[in-house]
Amino acid sequence: MKNKQVDFQDWGLMDYKAAWDKQEALFAGTVNLKIDIRNRQSVTEGNEYDEYTPTPNYLIFCEHPHVYTLGKSGKPEHLLLDEKGLKEKNAVYYPINRGGDITYHGPGQIVSYPILDLDNFFTDIHLYLRTLEEAVILTLADYGLKAGRYPGYTGVWFDADNERARKICALGVRCSRWVTMHGLAFNVNPDLDYFKNIVPCGIDDKEVTSMQRELGYEVDINEVKKILKQHISVLFNMEIL
């Protein structure tokens, strides 16, 4: 039985490591439940446990204090600060187990961590990434901003077809047994100067932007969260709890 119900949680401004640990606990709980269900099914007939033991889904929103994270395929030299520089910027650094290269998280940026069992939705990781991108594209459209995709890269971009290409949303995910973690970082009102201390996502010839920069005014981040949550729920056919 596919469970379309999703537990939405807004963790507010949370230390990156604390949020990572909470993610890992939810992720591990779902993966271990799937393993337990399949182990029991292997010694019984039919799919009775699959029917009566649905796996949970979570959609997490939060913001982080200044932090740089490096994905497992990234290059450490894409962080342009040493330990002293990180302290001066009041930032921390973590190598982590998502895909992708280096990125920045900070106040004014919506970070979304969908911890979904894709067996409840669709088992296609590329479609999963494109669907998250589409939710951001639709959210920006609601503010009169036309965004899209950059061929060959993940994320959401403006003017991807010319030399003014600039990125507003980065994606990096982990998936095991079709259970996801990590997710997207959507620039609403962050301090863009922090991106100058990295080669964002390994791309050294493109700018990073934000809604505030594109619109010329500070945006109500809580309003953006509501709109983004709605688009995610519709695109995935979720029932948000």
- Condensed to tens digits (0 to 9), the pLDDT of residues 170-200 reads 998 999 999 999 999 999 999 999 999 988 6
Which among 156, 220, 142 has a CA at the least distance from the CA of 184? 156
Question: What helix, strand, coil percent values describe the chain, rounded to 5?
Answer: 35, 25, 35
**62, 169, 175, 201: the active-site residue:** 201
| CA–CA distance, 194 with 147 (Å, rounded to integer) | 22
pTM recorded for the entire structure: 0.91
| CA–CA distance, 158 with 168 (Å, rounded to integer) | 8
User: Is position 175 annotated as part of the catalytic site?
Assistant: no
Q: Give the position of tokens 């030399």.
A: 163
CB-based contacts of 107, cutoff 8 Å, min separation 6: 13, 63, 64, 65, 66, 190, 191
**Number of DSSP helices (H) and strands (E) in the chain, helices first:** 6, 11
Task: Say which residue, 241 or 201, is predicted with more confidence.
Answer: 241
**Superfamily covering domain 5-240:** Bira Bifunctional Protein; Domain 2 (3.30.930.10)
Confidence class for position 73, pLDDT limits 50, 70, 90: confident
